[in-house]
Amino acid sequence: MTLIAYEKSRSFDQGTDGQSGTRTFLVVEDDSTITTQPSINQVIRATGVRLYTQDQPTSGDSPPLGNLIPLSVNVRSETDAQIQYTVQYKYGLETLTGPTPEPGDPEFVTFTQSTRPVAMDVWRAGENEDEENVDVEGYPVDEAGVPITKFIRQTDLEINVRYENYNDIPSYQFLVGSRNISTYMGIDPGFILFTGMTITRDGVNSYRATYTFTYDARKHMRQVPGRDQNGVIPLSNRWPDTDDRQHADVVVYKQPFPRLSNFANLGIPVP
């Protein structure tokens, strides 16, 4: 099968909404003995145009439609010929390689950030937050081992990056569930948890990777009271300056996400 593409026309429009354009090709089978219809992908490839990629100039000329890139393609079979198709590309946006990326460009990183209060049980206030598995000290706020609820701040961050090739997407799923070992996006070590990634194919040669992170004001550590062999919280009234009631005798911090990783390995552009 020998498909040949002839460019029939091209157009360029400039309006208040920006620039746009079209290119139209006629794709025909050069071998008259072939009667098998080609696939749609074969017809599209015959034009040499790739979606989301700026057209390459020929003979030292400028790209056919300047900085515009093809965003969609329409293929129509012509009824007056056995193997003959009209292929039309619609163009828009700016160059993918310019210094100021626009939405939809590979270099343009979109992100969503949301902050919310998260409830946590606490037995002590004014505690030492730096060490794990060591009594947090401070002063008691529980009632006979029953904690009170305190709200802390958590921020969820979702970063979206588009890739033209699936193989270019970093494969670091094993970092899920780990915290940043070094400063990342301006946040000190230990505060950011990598919660996962999602990959979606949203077009020809276009893949959207979504990375999600959670910042926790307590480095994701939580207070846990000491318990005896029967699971009972031993009580004590060793805080006479506070009150004479019974409180959890020992309270420590536990880190449910002890693993630390270098998030720079993800290769995600910082938004």
pLDDT in tens for each of the 271 residues of the chain? 688 999 999 998 887 767 889 999 999 988 878 888 888 888 998 998 988 888 877 766 778 888 888 989 999 987 666 788 999 999 987 544 444 555 555 556 788 999 999 999 999 998 877 778 888 888 899 999 999 999 999 999 999 888 888 888 887 778 999 999 999 988 999 999 999 999 888 777 788 889 999 999 999 999 999 999 999 999 998 888 778 889 999 999 999 999 999 998 888 877 6
Bridge partners, residue 134, by sequence: none
Residue 179: exposure state from Cβ atoms within 10 A (0-12, 13-18, ≥19):
buried
Instruction: Kindly provide the residue ranges of all beta strands, DSSP E only, lying in the chain, ordered along the sequence.
Output: 3-15, 18-29, 69-77, 84-92, 110-122, 124-125, 139-140, 148-163, 179-180, 192-203, 206-216, 222-225, 235-236, 247-248, 251-254, 260-261
pLDDT at residue number 80 = 61
Q: What's the CA gap between 66 and 62, in Å, rounded? A: 7
CB atoms within 10 A of CB 193: 20
Q: What's the CA gap between 75 and 87, in Å, rounded? A: 5
Residue 17: exposure state from Cβ atoms within 10 A (0-12, 13-18, ≥19):
exposed
Q: What's the CA gap between 28 and 196, in Å, rounded? A: 47
pLDDT at residue number 96 = 46
Instruction: Kindly provide the residue ranges of all beta strands, DSSP E only, lying in 126-259, ordered along the sequence.
Output: 139-140, 148-163, 179-180, 192-203, 206-216, 222-225, 235-236, 247-248, 251-254
Model pTM?
0.59
pLDDT at residue number 239 = 84
Cβ within 8 Å of residue 118, ≥6 positions away: 151, 152, 153, 154, 216
Residue bearing tokens 């802390």: 152
Structure letter (DSSP) for residue 49: -
How far from each other are the two terminal CA atoms of the chain, in whole angstroms?
46
